[in-house]
Amino acid sequence: MTFMRAYQDMVFSTAARLSGNDAHAEDIAQEVFLRAYEHFSHLRSSPTAGGWLKTVTTNLTLNYLTRYRKRWRLFSELKDSAHDGPSDPSEIEWEVPDTLLADLDADQRRQLIDGALRQLPQHQRLALVLYHFEELSYQDIAHKLRVSLAKVKTDIRRARAALLPILAAGGLERE
């Protein structure tokens, strides 16, 4: 019981951010702790138990989204020779500084970000959460989601762009 209480918030918030649905996150968290129970003899004294739980949570959430929801197909996946953007994806600047939320306390940031993330399309939310919260590289995200590297970069860029008006509507102005 002590083990579960120590990690339940981290497991639930990881699943909720990735899935965008609290009810699904509860189911996923329950499955994570069932797996932890199966491996409890090793996890009980392991200093890496938190990392193990986070990895299992991420993998179970991605499996859930892949298995139980329709596969997403995006404009960025369509091969259209008449698109308006640069012909070479390397011409796009992908990195954007994250200074918009610097003046808020941690709880306000968490609430604002979680609410905004829930408004994003699933493919954008997944890529953004895996990059910023799980700290995976673009290549690792592409591998986990089984999509191209260019799609991951596009989804993260579009997610960031979509978050700006949502965060502004929440009372924040970009400097």
Q: What is the pLDDT of residues 116-133, one digit of tens each?
A: 888 888 889 889 888 887
State pTM to two decimals.
0.53
Q: What is the rounded CA–CA span in Å between residue 120 and residue 59? A: 20
Query: Tokens standing for 146?
Result: 């089984």
Q: What is the pLDDT of residues 128-155, one digit of tens each?
A: 888 887 888 899 999 988 899 999 999 9
Three-state SS for the chain is CHHHHHHHHHHHHHHHHHHCCHHHHHHHHHHHHHHHHHCHHHHCCCCCHHHHHHHHHHHHHHHHHHHHCCCCCCHHHCCCCCCCCCCCHHHCCCCCCCCCCCCCCHHHHHHHHHHHHHCCCHHHHHHHHHHHCCCCCHHHHHHHHCCCHHHHHHHHHHHHHHHHHHHHHCCCCCC
pLDDT of residue 82: 39
Q: Are 32 and 144 in contact (CB under 8 A)?
A: no
Instruction: Kindly state the average pLDDT of the residues 31-60.
Output: 88
Q: How many CB atoms lie within 10 A of CB 169?
A: 10
